[in-house]
Amino acid sequence: VDGKARIDDRPLLPEDIAVIVRSHRQAGYIQDALKRVGIPSVMRSDMSIFASGEARELCTLLAALADPGNEPKVRAALVTDILGRSGNDIALLLEDEEAWEECLERFRSYHQIWLEHGFMVMSQSFLAREEVRGRLLRRPDGERRLTNLLHCFEVIHHASHERGVGIEGLLTWFGERVSCREAADEYQIRLETDEKLVKIVTVHVSKGLEYPVVFCPFMWGGIRGNDEVVTFHDSFKMVK
């Protein structure tokens, strides 16, 4: 903050720093810790978009949009973070017959748009009308969540064009990939932004990359506590 830490003749900046971790869980610990002290950060991950919470929630939402007459599915969709309703909200909504019918009618209208104009037109209408961007961005990790959700929409859009399947076929395709967490390169989670931020990087992703300053807070993890010989590298030579 006061510019005392420097690289050559300039102050050290957040974007100069990388934190290398072993797992996505450790990456989350670091991001939470940095957030608490007001340091902006971003995670570079090799995790599949299908393994994200947003993909799982989208399965719930799409099931309701595909079958808007199924009230339990609609209620399940409403309590996702995408739509942000609480149990109390649902209870109040169900007590107001007119409000509940209006809600069901919105789901029916999205279903009709999907049928007549395709998935992407429907998803854009849904995002705007339900104010999803603002709702997610109000959360501490909102940019990450919104990036994941939009990535899922794009993946589904491409699949609908490439496969030429209807709503049910598309739901089956997406649900299967979420279940198995398909991890092909094109499905890796995208970076929400990396401008002027500390990078949090898994060991696998960090290979071949260079950063001015690197922290490795978890490299001690996995050290064996038995009597086996410990090995390490000294000047590129294995030492026991």
pTM exceeds 0.75, yes or no: no
Q: Enter the tokens of residue 141.
A: 């990790």
**pLDDT digits 0-9 by tens, 55-81:** 999 999 999 999 999 999 999 999 999
**pLDDT digits 0-9 by tens, 25-62:** 788 788 888 888 888 787 776 678 898 899 999 999 99
Closest CA to 62 of 189, 131, 162, 160: 160
- The pLDDT mean for the chain works out to 84
Name the pLDDT band for 106 (thresholds 50, 70, 90).
very high
Any residues with CB less than 8 A from the CB of 25 and at least 6 apart, and which? none
Whether the predicted pLDDT of 222 surpasses 60: no
Q: How far apart are CA 54 and CA 51, in angstroms?
A: 8
- The residue to which tokens 């209408």 are assigned: 125
Q: What is the mean pLDDT of residues 86-109?
A: 95
Sheet containing strand 17-21, strands side by side:
41-44, 198-202, 17-21, 213-215
**What's the full length of the chain, in residues?**
240
Q: How far apart are CA 109 and CA 226, in angstroms?
A: 64
Q: What is the mean pLDDT of residues 8-23?
A: 84
